[in-house]
Amino acid sequence: MAPVPPGIRFLTSFNRDQWYRAFTFGLTFLLYTSFHLSRKPISIVKSELHKNCSHVMEAPSESSSSQQPVLHPELDCSWKPFDRNNYKQLLGAMDYSFLCAYAIGMYLSGIIGERLPIRLYLTVGMLTSGLFTCLFGLGYVYDVHSLGFYIFVQVANGLVQTTGWPSVVTCIGNWFGKGRRGLIMGLWNSHTSVGNILGSLIAGYYVSSNWGLSFIVPGVIIAAMGVICFLFLIERNWDTELLLGQESIGVCVPVQQVVVVKSEAEPSAISFMGALRIPGVVEFSLCLLFAKLVSYTFLFWLPLYITKAAHLDAKKAGDLSTLFDVGGIVGGILAGVLSDKMGKRATTCAVMLLLAAPTLYGFSMMSQFGLGPTIGMLLVCGGLVNGPYALITTAVSADLGTHKSLKGNARALSTVTAIIDGTGSVGAAVGPLLAGLLSAQGWDQVFYMLMTADFLALLVS
């Protein structure tokens, strides 16, 4: 008899429950990757919406005059209405409209998510998010130059994207206990950076030739992932027990009878004020407000800053900005591992925030000394800025959502996650707006604002 191949022995060493856990881990990872993938294009396209027209005019000067195309900067360079002198404020207003809608919607989303089937709630959110992301890109296809149109799309997209985070955190919290939650969620939370990287690469590929596709392609991807969510997402580990029970007993057993018995044992969802009274929720919410302010300012403005500081085109700046997210992946995992070993989430956040402030100042200086130092500081900044942000939104939120004061009521996870991330999203809305206003006075002012926010996050952590 032939020996069993080692790969097959490895696969069969896992029981059915472990396979379901791994499947849920991977699926929710991909689902939220698509959310961030669809948010990233706006930061890449900014430098295309308002181009440096003088560079466009000077580019063909090396060739003969007969080969020079006739350019009309007011028509062929920047995209109206972002061709005005106050373009930074207009771009900042688009960021603010998305993030403000996201912050407001997040508080409601968690409460709604506790009371609806997560799979259906998440599916609808992903399909509508895909629709609005594509609509932004169709503005290029149909030559739309109305600021109101783009702001409407951003507001609508911000609202529907709030369905994502409370849903996926609740799913992963239902499947994984507290034992190694920091490590598991640190690995899992890398979907944020992976989504940003993929979004940057996809948007960067199309940005110079057809920036509408920079939105349409990610929009199609998140909508397709919404269909996959509907077909495959298992919300809770006890849902598999129902499936196994049906397999063993046979199809003659009515499904309705089993569901009724299970639903009677389910606890009621926690109220908003009840979630606020959980120890640590308010403190970590405020800490995330300032941490997310820094992270989202980088998310929305880093490619444009690199374009201006390093004099690179939109595609190269977008590619280079992905290094910040690569550092964020490492920082999130490192924060999770350290918090597991020490058993102190707050201390881990405080140490990383303490190191982040001087690193931000170093990045503002190093970016003037060439490509090498810029790459190094991007990686370090990404790790120190996104590490605390990742830890609070995942392991800390899951810990507080299953706090001992709840006496086993797991129906608080979505609400607690929404409160923490919603408060953080207030900072995410304010940060890019302030960056748009302060950058008119020089990028140094933006970095001073970021360092101040990091210091405030340290104080409340």
- pLDDT value of position 260: 39
> From residue 120, how far is each of 111, 126, 235, 260, 442 by CA, in Å?
15, 10, 10, 19, 46
Query: Which domain, by its residues, includes 43?
Result: 20-50+86-235+274-460
Is 345 among the domain residues?
Answer: yes
The residue that leads in pLDDT, 456 or 110, is: 456
The CATH number for 456's domain is 1.20.1250.20
CA atoms within 13 A on the CB side of 168: 30
Is 451 among the domain residues?
Answer: yes
Is 246 among the domain residues?
Answer: no
- pLDDT value of position 75: 45
Tell me what the mean pLDDT of segment 193-204 comes to. Answer: 91
Is 14 among the domain residues?
Answer: no
**Number of CB atoms found within 10 A of residue 275's CB:** 26
pLDDT band for position 128 (50/70/90)? very high
Lowest mean pLDDT among 36-40, 70-74, 320-324, 348-352: 70-74
pLDDT at residue 258 tops 60: no
Total domains present in the chain: 1
pLDDT at residue 371 tops 50: yes
pLDDT at residue 62 tops 60: no
The residue that leads in pLDDT, 88 or 404, is: 88
- pLDDT value of position 243: 56
Is 56 among the domain residues?
Answer: no
Please write down the HEC assignment for all residues of the chain: CCCCCHHHHHHHCCCHHHHHHHHHHHHHHHHHHHHHHHHCHHHHHHHHHCCCHHHHHHHHHHCCHHHCCCCCHHHHCCCCCCCCCCHHHHHHHHHHHHHHHHHHHHHHHHHHHHHCCHHHHHHHHHHHHHHHHHHHHHHHHCCCCCHHHHHHHHHHHHHHHHHHHHHHHHHHHHHCCCCCHHHHHHHHCCHHHHHHHHHHHHHHHHCCCCCCHHHHHHHHHHHHHHHHHHHHCCCCHHHHHHHHHHHHHCCCCCHHHHHHHHHHCCCCCCCHHHHHCCCCHHHHHHHHHHHHHHHHHHHHHHHHHHHHHHCCCHHHHHHHHHHHHHHHHHHHHHHHHHHHHHCCHHHHHHHHHHHHHHHHHHHHHHCCCCHHHHHHHHHHHHHHHHHHHHHHHHHHHHHHHCCHHHCCCHHHHHHHHHHHHHHHHHHHHHHHHHHHHHHHHCHHHHHHHHHHHHHHHHHHC
Is 243 among the domain residues?
Answer: no
Tell me what the mean pLDDT of segment 416-443 comes to. Answer: 86
Is 170 among the domain residues?
Answer: yes
pLDDT at residue 280 tops 90: no
pLDDT band for position 74 (50/70/90)? very low
pLDDT at residue 249 tops 50: no
Assessment of whether the complete model's pTM goes beyond 0.75: yes
Is 65 among the domain residues?
Answer: no
pLDDT band for position 271 (50/70/90)? confident
